[in-house]
């Protein structure tokens, strides 16, 4: 069965990262097939311009829990950066997976120089999402994200991956 993954990572003050991957089959549904969590300690420090060094190991740790690889992976962030399309987190992930899986980036904030052609609007929101991709045409990636389940700006599956990271951390810190 073909499935897709939405990934997200949250970082905590104790040098821990919690990565989540939410698997789904139908782009228009809110039905989650499976959720996996990976905790990593320690994580690389943040270096401006090298965010992928911190986040990529987290994503790979949670993605490796799935076999076979998904049909598509969504990352919370950019695949390419700026008007010149420099490699962002998603491009580094695409490369780490030897180009076997298309990667779509969905970012909530604009990166300097992001082309206007990456913007989409969902629901009644006036604030755009920024969609970039590798291994998939941009128009196809934008169409998939626009068509995802959810009435609000952020698709249901992206919100579910974010929530999975936060819920995993909440259970970790409970007595």
**What is the predicted pLDDT for the residue at 171?**
61
From its phi and psi, is residue 43 left (phi > 0), alpha (psi between -120 and 50) or beta? beta
Q: Count of residues for the chain?
A: 175
For the segment 85-143, what is each residue's pLDDT rounded down to a tens digit?
Answer: 999 999 999 999 999 999 999 999 999 999 989 999 998 999 999 999 999 999 999 99
13: DSSP letter: T
pLDDT of 175 higher than 80? no
Listed by start position, the domains of the chain span 4-173
Rounded Cα distance, 168 and 172, in Å: 6
DSSP strand pairing (103-107 vs 80-81): unpaired
Q: Is 109 helix (H, G, I), strand (E, B) or coil?
A: coil
Per the DSSP assignment, residues forming a β-bridge with 120 are 129
Judge residue 110's burial from the number of C-beta atoms within 10 Å of its C-beta, 0-12 exposed, 13-18 middle, 19 or more buried: middle
Domain 4-173 of CATH type 3.30.2170.10: yes
117: DSSP letter: G
pLDDT of 12 higher than 90? no
């Amino acid at each position: 069965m073909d499935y897709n993954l939405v990934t997200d990572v949250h970082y905590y003050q104790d040098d821990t990262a919690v990565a989540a991957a939410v698997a789904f089959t139908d782009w228009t549904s809110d039905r989650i097939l499976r959720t996996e969590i990976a905790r990593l300690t320690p994580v690389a420090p943040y270096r401006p311009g090298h965010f992928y060094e911190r986040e990529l190991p987290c994503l790979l740790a949670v993605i490796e829990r799935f076999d076979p690889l998904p049909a598509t992976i969504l990352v919370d962030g950019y695949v390419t950066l700026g008007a010149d399309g420099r490699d962002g987190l998603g491009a580094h992930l695409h490369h780490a997976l030897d180009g076997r899986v298309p990667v779509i980036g969905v970012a909530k904030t604009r990166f300097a120089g992001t082309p206007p052609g990456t913007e989409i609007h969902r629901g009644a929101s006036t604030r755009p999402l920024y969609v970039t991709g590798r291994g998939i045409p941009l128009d196809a990636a934008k169409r998939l994200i626009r068509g995802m389940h959810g009435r609000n700006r952020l698709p249901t599956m992206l919100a579910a991956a974010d929530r999975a990271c936060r819920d995993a951390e909440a259970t970790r810190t409970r007595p």
